[in-house]
């Protein structure tokens, strides 16, 4: 912890019902780590895609200019990531690392971050099992499952193996395997919310002009909160900030949302998506249809952070159930 930054779940506040609100924050000691946390309000995504980041700094001179680009990220560890959040990063990897134009800033953060995952019992509104995101098989260095008075550790990197050897780790016994299987089965049975995604990509096309979008669009406040808490949304905007002295400037990228009013506005004052219902539709279309077509998987991982944070009470399960009901009438 003295040599590398360590990030983990900490409670920072309480909601109106008195429940703790958790966030992934820098730890000063392991005593601050709350391994029994439920769900972080914001996903750890923002340690890989910050809300704002300076891409380039320019120094302007009389006879020219210089630019400074910095990809350097100090090695760090994120402890306690859930399987759905690890799977969310794997989906972002498809876009940020494996596309035609890889993101070097994301790559630097991903490469220099050791992820230690942690199993947990799902909340009532979690539907990551329906999205096949309740189990992580890769994308982490180490993954822990609580089996009573110790953790069952799955190792997936040399770095994690070296770290584990610094502690009093024991070889896995037959009893440990039985406890591990029992805990995994217990977690599986705890999922209460199910979302039917079997025909969802085709349904998005069939119900493209459905009144369902107007119904939920009329509720939508177009605030963008859903995108800010989502572990997979990656829409962004760009800005250039020029100092009044005209001697320096910064090119900055910031996360944005396709639900915001001006997302599809262009020069000349035209807006291709002026209605909230249309913007909401395209957000769902990208999550469950567009990403599926490009990468053979939905972008959504089923954490329901968006539904939990939405001030208008919009959640994916309710919208999808409405679409299915409309189609089957």
Q: Give per-residue pLDDT as tens, 1-11.
A: 567 899 999 99
Q: What's the confidence (pLDDT) of residue 155?
A: 95
Question: Degrees (nearest 5) of the Cα angle 113, 1, 5?
Answer: 40
| pTM greater than 0.85 | yes
| C-alpha distance across the termini of the chain, in Å | 58
Q: How much is the average pLDDT of 93-122?
A: 95
Average pLDDT over the chain reads 93
Q: How much is the average pLDDT of 103-117?
A: 96
Count of the separate structural domains present in the chain:
1
Is the confidence at residue 315, as pLDDT, over 80?
Answer: yes
Q: Domain containing 78: what range? A: 5-328
**pLDDT class of 71 with cuts at 50, 70, 90:** confident
Angle of the 83-96 helix axis to the 104-111 helix axis, nearest 10: 140
Share of the chain above pLDDT 70, in %: 99
Q: What's the confidence (pLDDT) of residue 167?
A: 84
Q: How much is the average pLDDT of 218-241?
A: 95
Better pLDDT: 62 or 36: 36
- DSSP-H helix ranges across the chain: 83-96, 104-111, 158-164, 174-189, 200-206, 211-219, 225-229, 276-285, 291-295, 305-309, 316-328
Is the confidence at residue 170, as pLDDT, over 60?
Answer: yes
Which residues are within 8 A (CB) of 326 and not within 5 positions of it... i.e. 6 or more apart? Answer: 207, 210, 211, 212
Q: What's the confidence (pLDDT) of residue 190?
A: 93
Q: What's the confidence (pLDDT) of residue 3?
A: 74
Q: How much is the average pLDDT of 16-45?
A: 92
Q: Which of 116, 114, 122 is nearest to 37 (CA)?
A: 122
Torsion-angle region of 18 (φ positive above 0: left; ψ -120 to 50: alpha; else: beta): left
The model's pLDDT over 184-209, given as tens digits with 9 standing for 90+, comes to: 999 999 999 999 988 899 999 999 99
Share of the chain above pLDDT 90, in %: 83
Is the confidence at residue 328, as pLDDT, over 80?
Answer: no
* Residue 265: alpha-carbon gap to chain centroid: 26
Q: How much is the average pLDDT of 220-247?
A: 94
């Amino acid at each position: 912890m003295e040599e590398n930054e360590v990030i983990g779940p900490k409670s920072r506040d309480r909601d109106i019902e008195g429940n703790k609100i958790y966030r992934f924050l820098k730890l000063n000691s392991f005593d601050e780590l709350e391994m029994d946390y439920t769900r972080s309000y914001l996903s750890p995504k923002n340690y890989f895609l910050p809300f704002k980041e300076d891409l380039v700094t320019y120094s302007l001179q009389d006879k020219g200019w210089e630019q400074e680009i910095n990809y350097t990220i100090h090695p760090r560890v994120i402890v306690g990531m859930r399987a759905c959040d690890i799977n969310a990063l794997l989906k972002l990897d498809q876009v940020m690392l494996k596309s035609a134009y890889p993101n070097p800033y994301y790559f630097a953060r991903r490469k220099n971050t050791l992820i230690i995952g942690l199993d947990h019992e799902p909340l009532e509104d979690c539907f990551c099992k329906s999205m096949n995101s309740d189990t992580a098989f890769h994308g982490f260095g180490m993954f822990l499952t609580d089996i009573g008075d110790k953790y069952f550790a799955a190792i997936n990197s040399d770095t994690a193996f070296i770290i584990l050897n610094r502690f009093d780790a024991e070889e896995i016994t037959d009893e440990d395997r039985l406890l591990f299987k029992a805990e995994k089965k217990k977690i599986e049975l705890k999922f209460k919310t199910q979302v039917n995604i079997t025909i969802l990509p085709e349904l998005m096309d069939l119900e493209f002009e459905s009144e369902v979008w107007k119904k939920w669009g009329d509720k939508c406040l177009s605030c963008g909160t859903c995108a800010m808490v989502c572990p997979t949304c990656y829409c962004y905007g760009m800005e250039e900030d020029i100092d009044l002295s005209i001697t320096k400037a910064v090119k900055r990228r910031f996360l944005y949302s396709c639900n915001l009013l001006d997302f599809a506005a262009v020069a000349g004052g035209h807006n291709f998506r002026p209605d909230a219902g249309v913007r909401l539709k395209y957000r769902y279309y990208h999550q469950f249809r567009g990403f599926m077509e490009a990468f053979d998987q939905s972008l959504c991982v089923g954490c329901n952070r968006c539904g939990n944070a939405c001030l208008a009470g919009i959640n994916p399960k309710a919208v999808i159930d409405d679409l299915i009901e409309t189609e089957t009438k």
